[in-house]
Structure 1
């Protein structure tokens, strides 16, 4: 009987692993074979800034660095970067090109407008100095990326601290009745004479 149970469990595991959309690499059809990932790309603005700074340090101009970064970011940010680069290549000043890139774009086939990427909006203050002065500013961009990470870390710590406060009531409502039922009630019942 144990051999049959092991066989059934192994067969069920094999069916789940080899089902369409799942699988082990190289064995079964994985997610890439079933459906392409449409949201692929970097969506972290701090990482984007580090990439731009590294390319500036290597000698690339800002427009080339942004064009290269646009190839590896999520679709919404890539569209915004494309509009920014298009406007600046036509000779628009930085502020005008930024405003054009930040305007909401029309969605596909009358679905309304698509909001501007939050990652793209976060890039603006860091890139403004480089774009308007032309100074070699890889260190400034790196410092902006570090500041973003510090703010994100501080926000995570703040949210984790508030989570402890928010969990007090639900945990108290769940734990206190169990404590009373499993410890206090039996103790009181043992003190009642003639209970046993």
Structure 2
């Protein structure tokens, strides 16, 4: 009798869990595509550090952008930005079509372009900030993974523990009563 009640309880838990997963799966289809691009490995820290080193060596901004656009495969758009700046296009219009992950580079180089001040330390600080944000994001995703893993493991391990540990104990005690 108790075994039947236990099986019904386990079935109810699994039913609730499966409906939760279906709802969560339906919601995940509605997520914006920007999260997928956030997960991709974009070399923004590398570009910021290399840009800072090239600025320290005395290379002009347009040449830095052209060099980075040719050498880093994900940043080919920087060649277009360099060409637009060579044709004396406004700074904002030149950077208009660049991807969002290059915004820290654009902000730091804008300061150097407008004021003529050395921006290498700004670029290095922006790279450090990007690394810090990435490590915090990874830590947050790791914590979310741990909490999301508890329910499926509990749904699988608890019935197995009851079926293999508690039920044989109850069956062994029944003839003794």
Deviation at 1:139, TM superposition (A): 0.7
| Structure 1 residues 146-157: aligned runs within 5 Å | 146-157=128-139
Match of 2:124 among 105, 122, 142: 142
Which structure has more relative contact order (CA 8 Å, sep 6+)? It is 2
Instruction: Establish whether residue 47 from structure 1 lines up as the match of residue 46 from structure 2.
Output: yes
Task: Give me the TM-score of the superposition, normalised by structure 1.
Answer: 0.64
**Residue in 2 aligned with 1:113?**
none
Q: Distance in 1 between matches of 2:92 and 2:100?
A: 18
Counterparts of 1:162 and 1:43, CA distance in 2 = 22
More helix per residue: 2
Distance in structure 2 (CA, Å) of the matches to 1:183 and 1:125: 62
Distance 1:165 1:43 in 2: 27
1:149-188 to structure 2, matched below 5 A, reads 149-188=131-170
Residue 148 of structure 1 and its aligned partner are, at CA, apart by: 0.7
1:125 and 1:162 map into 2 onto residues whose CA distance is 32
Correspondence for 1:98: 95
CA distance in 2, matches of 1:50, 1:176: 51
Structure 1 unmatched ranges of 5 or more: 1-41, 103-115
The structural deviation recorded for 1:52 is 0.6
4+ runs deviating over 4 angstroms:
none
> In structure 2, what is the equivalent of residue 66 of structure 1?
65
Write the distance in 2 (CA, Å) between the matches of 1:177 and 1:126: 57
The equivalent residue for 2:101 is: 119
* Separation in structure 1 between the aligned mates of residue 108 and residue 158 of structure 2, nearest angstrom: 51
Question: What is the RMSD computed on CA atoms of the aligned residues?
Answer: 2.0
C-alpha distance in 1 between matches for 2:131 and 2:48: 11
The structural deviation recorded for 1:122 is: 4.6
